[in-house]
Structures are given as C-alpha cells and as structure tokens.
Amino acid sequence: MAASNPSVFLLTVNGNIEGANFPEYDNLYCKYCFVYGHDWAPTTGLEEGITQIASKSSQASHRLIWNFPLATTFKSTNPSGWPQLVVSVYGPDVFGNDVVRGYGATHIPFTPGQHTKTIPMFVPEPTWRLQKFTGWLTGRRPEYTDPKVVAQGEGREVTRVHSQGFVSVSFLIMTKDMKKMDYDTGPSGPANKPSATSGWSTEEQP
C-alpha cells in the first residue's frame, strides 16, 4: 500500500467519449489526447487515441455514438497544469477528403465521482472568404497546427472560430492522496463515500 507520506498524488480518469452531436455531418471519428502541465505524468493508460468512424442512426436521434473508453492514470505533484482532454473530430467532406469538424477541450473534473461533460466544438475559420471557397474545393480547411492549441490560452486571440457541434464525454474520477497533500477538492457528490478497504478510495480522510 502507499506510503503514509506520499510524494505524488494520483488521478485516475475512466470514462467514455460517448458520442457527439454534429447536426450537419456524418461518418465522423474522434481523436483525443491529454494535455497536462510540467508536473504531471501519465502512469498507465493511453494518452492519445482515435475512435472508430461512426455514422448517424437514421432514427430520430442524430447522435454519433463512439463509446470510446478512456482509462488513464496520472501522477502529479502540483495541481497546476491539471490535465485537459482535447478532442478533435474529423470526417469526410463532400469530396471525401478528411477534414476537421471540430476541436474542443475540457478539464478533467477534479472532484471524484461521475461527471458528464458536453464539450462544445469549434473549427478555425478561414481568413478570407475566398479561402473558404478554395478550402471547400480542395478539402483543405484551416486546421490548428496542433490540436493541443485549444487547451492553451496563449495566442488564441489571433484566431477566429466557428462553432460546430458537441461532444459528450463521461468521466469517472478517482483521486488518491490529494487530501494527504493538503489539496482539498471540495465536497463531492453523495456517491463519494470514503471506503476503508481500498487505498483507491475516492478520497481518503487524512
């Protein structure tokens, strides 16, 4: 079991990229990655992933379902640079070129328990209208140099974006040793009850 005086705290993120709601597009897939600060490191699990291509159901709900599992554990010494989940959605356009359909980011919730996040997605806009047209023709829309750009605040003022749709992600969060290191993430839901049996309780009392 963990030492009584831990030097790191752990954050386990389980969850699902459940699906998305892009009213205009179909046959989309989603890439995700985590962006975190200097004091963070993933210990297990995938840092990046790519989902299958999903098409919409013909039924009433026009949701794209991926149900792509996320399972990553981070260790950290410093809550600064708390991990963020960056998702970017791609899909074919009229001509079959793979183009980006949305970028979005959200912080991993820091209270233990279950959370569902709906991430609004956006894409960068072309600078000129002509570019919009040529981009549409050639299938090369403006893209971020790195999807991780959306997790940072710096330099965003130079871009213009267009909102696209939503991606919903559910998280199941566990933390370990945060209280011991005097980081109190505040009250959490009623589902979060300390359990004495496991070191991996949702949060231990110090």
Partner 1 sequence: MEALEDGEEDEREALKRHLRAERQKRKKRLLEQSSLQKSRDADDVKDVTSIQQYSADEGPSEKADDSVVLSKSRTGSQKVLCAPGLTSITQHTHHLDDFVKRRLEEKLKAARSKGESLQDKEASLEFPSRLHSLKDRDTVTRFDREADADRAGRRDSPSPLSTRVRFREAARQVGKGLPTAEEAFNFFTLNFDPDPPDVIETSSRRRQKQRKTTDEDEEHEDVDEDIQEENETQSEEAPLVQTQEDLFVIDQSPQDFLEIKKAEYVGYQKLLQRQSELLFTPSFRTVPTSIKLPENMKPRYLEDEGLYVGERPPVSLTNENILENRILKMEEGKKWFGDDGRIIALPNPIKESSTRPPLFHMEEALDPALQTVYRKAVKSKYANLYIAGGADPEGDYQLDVDVSGLIFSHHPLFSREHVLGARLAQLYDQYLTRQRNNLTGHLTDKLNGLRNALRNMLESHSGLNPTQALQQRISEYNLEVRNTRHLRDSEQEKDRTLLKNIVKVWKAIKALREFQKFTNTPYKLYLRRENVDRVSDEQDYEDEILAEVVELEAETEEEYQNKLAEYKKRLEEWKLCRKKQKAKKKKQKKKKKGQAQDDTEGEDEEQDVSESEGPTDEPPPKPEPPERPDLGSIEQWVREKTLRIRRKPGEAILIPELSASANITASELCPRAETARREDVARRSLFTKILYNDKEVSRTDSRSLNTDFRVHFGQIFNLKIVNCPQSISLQVFEEIGSSCSLLAQVFLPVPEPSVVTGSVPLEEFEFSSNQRVMFDHEGVGSDVPLSFEADGSNKQSLLTSGKVSCCVSWGIGDDDVPLAPPISQQPGGVHSGMGCLDAVSYIGASGLYDMKKIGEWARQSRLDPNDPKNASIMQLLKVASSGEVTAPEYFRLEHLQEEFNFVTDEELEKSGRFRLLKLRNQEVAEFRNYKFIPALEREVTDTVFQEYEKRLKEGEVIDTKEHLDSHRALVAKYLQKIRESVINRFLLAKHHYLLSDLVIEEEIPTIGILGINLFKLAEPKRPLKPQRKERKKVTAQNLSDGDIKLLVNIIRAYDIPVRRLQSNKPGQSSHSALQGSIGLLDQIQVRPFVEVSFQRTVLQTATADGPNPCWNEELQLPFSAPNGDYSTASLQSVKDEVFINIFDEVVHETVMNDKNRGKSIQTHIEKRWLGSVKIPFSTIYSQSKIDGTFKVNTPAVLLGYSKEKSHFTNSGFDILRSLSEGTFITLFITVDPQLVPGESVREKFDTQEDERLLQASERFERDAAQRYPERPCITTVIDLSGKTVFITRYIRPLSPPKELLDEFPNNPLEATPLVARFVSLIPSLPDQVSFSATCDLWSTCDQFLTLLAGDEEEHAVLLCNYFLSMGKKAWLIIGTAIPEGPTAYVLTLEQNLYLIWNPSSGQFYGQYDTFCPLQAVGCLVNPDNVWFNIQQYTSPMRVSFDISKAHLWKPFFSRTFSHPGLSSIQPEELVYRRTDRAAAAELQDRIERILKEKIMEWRPRQPTRWNRYCTTTLKQFLPKLELIRGQDVAEGHRHELQSLLGDYRISGFPLNLAFSEIRPIIEAVYSTGIHSVQASNVEFALAVYVHPYPNNVMSVWIYLASLVLT
14: left (phi over 0), alpha (psi -120 to 50) or beta: beta
Structure tokens at 104: 């979005």
- Using rule CB under 8 A, residue 131 touches partner 1: yes
What 8-state DSSP symbol labels residue 147? G
Of the candidates 2, 5, 14, the residue with the CA atom closest to the CA atom of residue 108:
14
| Binding residue (CB under 8 A) for partner 1 from 23, 38, 55, 199 | 38
CB of 151 to partner 1, least distance (A): 12
- Using rule CB under 8 A, residue 192 touches partner 1: no
- Using rule CB under 8 A, residue 62 touches partner 1: no
Q: What's the CA gap between 47 and 159, in Å, rounded? A: 27
Q: Which residues pair with 115 in a beta bridge?
A: 171
Helix (H) or strand (E) holding 130: helix 129-138
Cβ proximity to partner 1, 140 vs 193, nearer residue: 140
Interface segment toward partner 1; rule CB under 8 A; list 14-22, 47-55, 84-92, 136-144: 136-144
- Which residues bind to partner 1, rule: CB under 8 A? 5, 7-9, 38-39, 41, 76-78, 80, 124, 126-128, 130-131, 134-135, 138, 140, 142-146, 149, 154-159, 181
